[in-house]
Amino acid sequence: MMVTKQEPFNAERLLLSTGITNHFMESNWEDSRYSDVGRVVETPALDIHYRSVRPAQFSTGVRPPPRPYIRGFANADDP
């Protein structure tokens, strides 16, 4: 940000990510008691439209086939 003079992510992305985390934590706590199930928390502030300005930063190509792995045991297919 100091070099390019531009924000690395727009404000909508930051609002969504921190708002989701905050409301998730709020939903699990009420009157200083934790609940595994959680409760409904209204989130009108998160009713915004967000469109990414960057493409995905991970591989979107063909994924390798799933191979079960059990620690300490070799697969029957392995030599």
Q: Does 35 map to a domain?
A: no
Beta strands in 2-72 (DSSP E): 29-30, 33-34
pLDDT at 69: 62
The count of domains in the chain is 1
Q: Does 62 map to a domain?
A: no
Mark the ranges of the chain whose per-residue pLDDT is less than 50.
none
Q: Does 76 map to a domain?
A: no
Residues forming beta bridges with residue 30, ordered by sequence position: 33
Q: Does 22 map to a domain?
A: yes
pLDDT at 71: 66
pLDDT at 77: 57
- 21 lies in which domain range? 10-26+40-49
> 39 Cβ partners below 8 Å, 6+ apart?
27, 30
Q: Does 19 map to a domain?
A: yes
